[in-house]
Amino acid sequence: MEQYSRELKRVVGYFKEMEEVSALYVYGGIGSGQYAGPGYGVGVLSSLRDPMALRSLELDCRVQCDDILDVVCLDTASVGLRHHVARCGSVVYERNRARRVRFESRAMNTFDDQIVLGYGLGPELASEIVLDMLEDDMGF
């Protein structure tokens, strides 16, 4: 576990120095203090809008990955991963609160829209599915 902790500190420290980074999340087992490995890691949220600059940040994230920790650029991540990080991840660094809140809101809403559109469900059924998912996660 010490190795994971050391690696997490290194990656978070690296990205905190970048002015374009708005927030950093930990997700997966690292966020809950459990086992870490592939599929667990750090999500980097930026304030970048330029596609080339975003691509550069995305590549920088990939360079920071190793066998211990995944590092992903949340600006270009899949809808499912953005939703997972917004719902279950923990914020470990925040430079721009408004950007972080906007990201979380959009991640949740986009995922809900995907359920309705992707599965052809009506809003009532989609809401039931989302509530069931939340109940499972929260233990209601």
Residue-wise pLDDT tens digits, 46-101: 888 888 888 898 888 888 877 677 888 898 888 888 888 998 899 999 999 999 99
CA distance 31 to 90: 6
What is the average pLDDT value for the chain, to the nearest integer?
77
Average pLDDT over residues 29-56: 72
Please report how the helices 123-138 and 97-119 are oriented relative to each other, as an axis angle in degrees rounded to 10: 120
Q: What is the pTM of this model?
A: 0.71
Q: Which sign, positive or negative, has the C-alpha torsion 137, 30, 95, 109?
A: negative
Per DSSP, the residues of 22-34 read EEEEEETHHHHTS
